[in-house]
Amino acid sequence: MKKVLLVAAAAALSVGSFSVQASGEAMYNNLGCSGCHGAGGNSMVPSYPSLAGKDAGWIFDQLKDFQSGKRVDPTMNAMAPMAAGHEQAIADFLSGK
């Protein structure tokens, strides 16, 4: 598992920061994350946490924890698996907001 993550990280780095951010933004919007967490991660609804400017490593970990069930929230346990393979790109996009 660790090896897979390292390979994914290396692939993401080799693509260059611009396209990684662009695809993170596209995934964030296309998966419907923005519908709850707001445009660019700036939520207008108190029950949906703002994600803009949060630490990328922390966002990545939350998505992994929602996927594994280590962190329990019915909505996010359903949403996080859709971000599989794009956790880092989405986290990088949001932390840069």
Q: Is there a contact between 93 and 16 (Cβ–Cβ < 8 Å)?
A: no
Residue 89 in the binding site for ligand HEC (CB under 6 A): no
Stretch that binds ligand HEC, among 3-11, 14-22, 72-80 (CB under 6 A): 72-80
Stretch that binds ligand HEC, among 3-11, 12-20, 79-87 (CB under 6 A): 79-87
For ligand HEC, the closer CB: 3 or 93: 93
d(CA 44, CA 39) in angstroms, rounded, equals 9
Residue 73 in the binding site for ligand HEC (CB under 6 A): yes
Place of tokens 């990328």: 56
Could you give the angle at which helices 17-30 and 2-15 cross, rounded to 10 degrees? 110
d(CA 59, CA 91) in angstroms, rounded, equals 6
State the residues that interact with ligand HEC by CB under 6 A. 31-33, 35-37, 47-49, 51, 59, 62-63, 73, 75-76, 79, 82-83, 90
